[in-house]
Structure 1
């Protein structure tokens, strides 16, 4: 290893090719974060040079290069292990300034920069030899096009004009042109060339071809734009793939290039953290292979440990990863289909995704692993049915999810030790034996007890509640266990949850003549029996209107009876819709839920200890849905120094300050006060001349749920 401080002239002058490996991530630097600050530094140094002041070189960071063995007489090649973003940006900058100088016929100065960008023709034997830096294959078309463009460069005609490469080149070209014309061009051009070629410094770490480049890469990867676990794993795999350059490129195109498409680069949430889908998949794939809990921050180190324990090499590993990735993507895309029948496994993916549980994916990857013996369909379906029932029932009784990481590892370890052809029996038996509060399988009696009086519309997240009602609808249509009897399954993820007796019932719905408690009715309208699915959102005037009449709610719902749940309401409500009908329908829906997500015969769900209920996150949207905060409500800042400052609450619970939306009260409070920390629920008052705050309304909401405030998670605090 040789470490030297070098200028761009030192690094780029000799004929050579600095090759960015095809498996490295693409060019990601941007104007705000990197191009503009770099140009600002260059201008500052050039202006000091023009004024005759001493110029201290500007440090740009480090690059790691590794020598490659080549045939005698061939162009020298060094692989860019780290620093490709810096080197590529410098090349774009040098070429953009070179074009500006050439346009102004400053040929001598232009040639000095051209020698740092292009190799002399007599040293090149192929297109890839022309430029000193050759980016990863994903960026090569855009890089080659803009660097080869004639002077002056017409960026609007470039095929890849929207690429980061073209945009960076145009930014530097425009900036250089503006700066050069601010004064006498000759001295300014000379100062600019001097700064670019000899007053920018990089620490160059040169490795011999047989040194371990991966260790250096891992040490330095935290600088600049952070690398994802998928980036690090990719670099490790292809660094250690024992093959020639052509074979490596073929392996990359066949087994890894797919990971750099929008599907895999999309950020998805796991808990409250966003990860690229490729990184999340690799995490889940590792767990399915190792049966170990792998925290997201340790995915790369766990992957290194895993491959060190394997007896085979990267050639065998890549097809394994690709096969599971193809299966994973196919399942996610099929499960995302809004209409049409789904297989048992696809429905499992849809429903568990609605439950926002990524923790079950390793089990799914293990169950469907193409490298393992296939599980008989009946046993696979039985395993998924049992696990889905376990998950949904625990959500419905609001059992805590604490310890799920460990639980799913234990499940994987257990089933892997059993006969694979009987995995369904093994999963069902394992779940049935659990009796701890964090892992038990709720029985029919507990589910019925919890759901009978639960204000489900308040307690369950909208997506989860809709999925449950969809499942009941499909059960009524004959789609139990994926075996259709008649009709198509319900369209998924698009129906609206509608209150049959409206939340604003006092306007058009007379109270029970026997003098029922209005507050009891308020709670009852949020229960399962008063909820249905409709294919379109109802106008609020009609939704809150009376039950009977030509323009009544029953008449309107009668036109939306393609949903069986709604058709039953219309049929049973011919004489009216009241508390008794709501309670009876709640009991009926619970029976359908228990049949949809069954437990083994005789299973009661005994628990050895007190059950900790899952926390309920209180958000502004909850208060809007509960009618405590009407849409459009103006809130007033409490602090005297901010008297007169207001915000407005939207129907979806967002908070607007001067037309700018914020997702929480605390965020809106910080925007108004300028403070880094504001207790939003205390900060906002519901009137200009009152001490009644959003915190007070939140307490009223908690009381309506009959929940202990200590059991809740409050947004923003």
Structure 2
């Protein structure tokens, strides 16, 4: 490679263009610290020139470029920007803001040279004049706004084309492109500095502006590193960061894919628009937490894609490295980069379907809601494998997903640990790699049944029923998970004669015997004082001597009210109406309910500990039938 210092004038004064490859990130520099720091340096150099003092070049950093062989004799000489696009873009926006001010003031001595730094001459003889006229050609997603800013011609027109947008009653406007904000920042700063300096030095404003232009032209340089044919631009790109901001795994992987597309002579703009542009959205850049770490959805999606392909645990911090190894090993994974991206889009669509916010009408039987309410996103690589890699017919896929759901649901009901899920679900994928069609379900079942202990067992019917009749589920399970289980129980009780009706997602969990039962629910014929009901040990005190023998029964009842046999679902109107009332009042309210869960109580004249135990066993059996092992 060759390294040479280049002033701003030398960078932009020739007939050439700098093309930012598809693998580069978007323009991310901001007012603080990047624009402010650059402007402070510019002002310092300009002030020295105004004072007629000697100045030394200020180096802005490295610019790494790679020459590209022209495809036509009419094509303007082209260089790929391997590193330094943030600097180049910022300089172009600064020069554009300065040019537009000079054009407005009719300072031709400044307007003309600055225009040469922004646009190439003679567009009528170019191969692609709409593109090649610009000295800098940004990435696809930055391109339209960049062109709009450079062709606006004035600060007022930029503000018109990119006006602030206020949504609803929000006091703050929507976020505007950094490209626009950088241009406007420099427009304001340049105008203020010229005006202030002209006034303080009693010099003509155009003279001051010309001195400012000279400072930008000659006093700022980059170290231009031009790669030779033998240099690996991909490896060089991997080793670089921009302003201390490390490249994400998806940044690195995008570079790998589009550099390979370049070598295959693919139309990169076309495949970007057709495939990768789907991932350059707020959804995919949005950050979510997993195991105490924060990742973008795109980084996680790439990780799950690779797990579904390899059946191996992939460190989220090494996705790009693992992907490079996988894609380069024989036999070839894809016939072309286009096929590779098409496959990734398929997996991305599946991942997004499960990671997107749940619709309010999503039924309890939808696997997306099951995973969300049970908080088991670690199963996604296995599900992506089953849906996209295992070549399963619809019935076979349903059988396999049913097993996965049963494994998860039973363990959630028993409150089993989930700390090894990230490893276990990957192991399941590994055990299924290479199997297709009818081979998959038996292999999956065998692997699930082979798990043991609190971290990997697939609970038996006996485990589920024993838990149902012995554990206060309400105190253990999170509300969304418990509500989902009760909704599934409700749906399981309906038959062909039942009117088709969705279970509303705003239903509340109801204690039939209320948590504060003591006022209207006598125990062994006695109304229990609130103090004793809440704190059974009070029964041992002298002033509550008549309840001394009821201490243990009170404790048992306080535990039983939270058993699954004492829980149901009601809407927001029915719940307050019943409140802590006695069973007769509640029974009257339940008659307003259309839920099978609440019709069950119509056969009872009283509701007590035995009734709760009987229903707990019954619901345990229902859970086993909903999620068979």
Larger helix share, 1 or 2: 2
Note closer, same or farther for the CA distance 1:568–1:416 as it changes in structure 2 (3 Å cut). Answer: same
Q: How many angstroms does 1:44 deviate by?
A: 4.6
Give the root-mean-square deviation of aligned CA atoms.
3.3
**Could you tell me which residue of structure 1 aligns to residue 569 of structure 2?**
533
Match of 1:465 in 2: 482
Q: Over residues 103-146 of structure 1, what are the superposed CA-to-partner deviations in whole Å (9 max), with x where a residue is unaligned?
A: 23333233333222222236862111222111112222111111
Q: CA–CA distance in 2 between the matches of 1:49 and 1:558?
A: 89
SS at match of 1:536: coil
- Which digits, 9 at most, give the CA deviation of each residue in 1:457-512, with x for residues without a partner? 3322222222222222222235xxxxx77444644754333444444555666666
Is 2:182 the partner of 1:168? Answer: yes
Change (3 A) 1:175 1:477: farther
Aligned to 1:546: 581
The equivalent residue for 1:666 is none
Partner Cα distance (1:36, 1:381) in 2: 58
1:18 is matched with 18
Between stretches 501-510 and 318-327, larger displacement belongs to 501-510
CA gap 1:179/1:511 in 2 versus in 1, 3 angstroms: farther
Pick which of 37-46 and 391-400 moved more.
37-46
Larger relative contact order (CA 8 Å, sep ≥ 6): 2
Gaps of 5+ in 2: 165-175, 199-204, 527-546
SS in 1 for 2:378: coil
The one of 328, 337, 358 aligned to 2:377: 358
| Structure whose alpha-carbon radius of gyration is higher | 2
The alignment partner of 1:21 has SS state of: coil
What are structure 1's unaligned runs of at least 5 residues? 479-483, 600-717
What is the correspondence of 1:189-338 to structure 2 with a 5 Å cutoff? Answer: 189-208=209-228, 211-221=231-241, 223-241=243-261, 247-312=267-332, 313-330=336-353, 336-338=358-360
Distance 2:459 2:152 in 1: 68
Distance, in Å, in 2 between the alignment partners of 1:572 and 1:63 is 81
Matched-pair contact (CA < 8 Å) for 2:65–2:79: yes
Equivalences for residues 71-86 of structure 1 within 5 A: 71-72=72-73, 74-86=75-87
Q: Does 1:446 align with 2:463?
A: yes
Distance 1:144 1:386, change over 3 A: same
**Counterpart-to-counterpart distance in 1, 2:524 and 2:214:** 89
CA gap of 1:176–1:448, structure 2 versus 1, over 3 A, is: farther
Q: List per-residue Cα deviations over 1:227-273 (Å, max 9, x = no partner).
A: 33222211111101256767222222223221223443333343333
Q: For 2:11 and 2:155, locate their aligned partners in 1 and report how far apart those are by CA, in whole Å.
A: 27
Aligned length: 582
Contact (CA 8 Å) 1:23, 1:234: kept in 2 or not? yes
Cα shift at 1:173:
1.4
Instruction: State the alpha-carbon separation in 2 of the partners of residues 506 and 443 from structure 1.
Output: 37
Answering whether residue 507 of structure 2 is matched by residue 495 of structure 1, we say yes
Specify whether residues 467 and 84 from structure 1 end up closer, same or farther in structure 2 by C-alpha distance, changes over 3 A only: farther
Write the distance in 1 (CA, Å) between the matches of 2:5 and 2:47. Answer: 24
CA separation of 1:122/1:336 partners in 2, compared to 1, >3 Å: closer, same or farther?
A: closer
Tell me if the contact between 1:473 and 1:490 (Cα under 8 Å) persists in the aligned partners: no
Q: TM-score, normalised by structure 2?
A: 0.82
Q: Secondary structure at the match of 2:18?
A: strand
In 1, Cα distance between equivalents of 2:300 and 2:214: 47
Q: CA 1:505 to 1:212, structure 2 compared with 1: closer, same or farther past 3 Å? A: same
Query: Which deviates further from its counterpart, 39-48 or 175-184?
Result: 39-48
Residues in 2 aligned to 1:393 and 1:85: alpha-carbon distance in whole angstroms: 52
Alignment partners' CA distance in 2, 1:38 and 1:577? 77
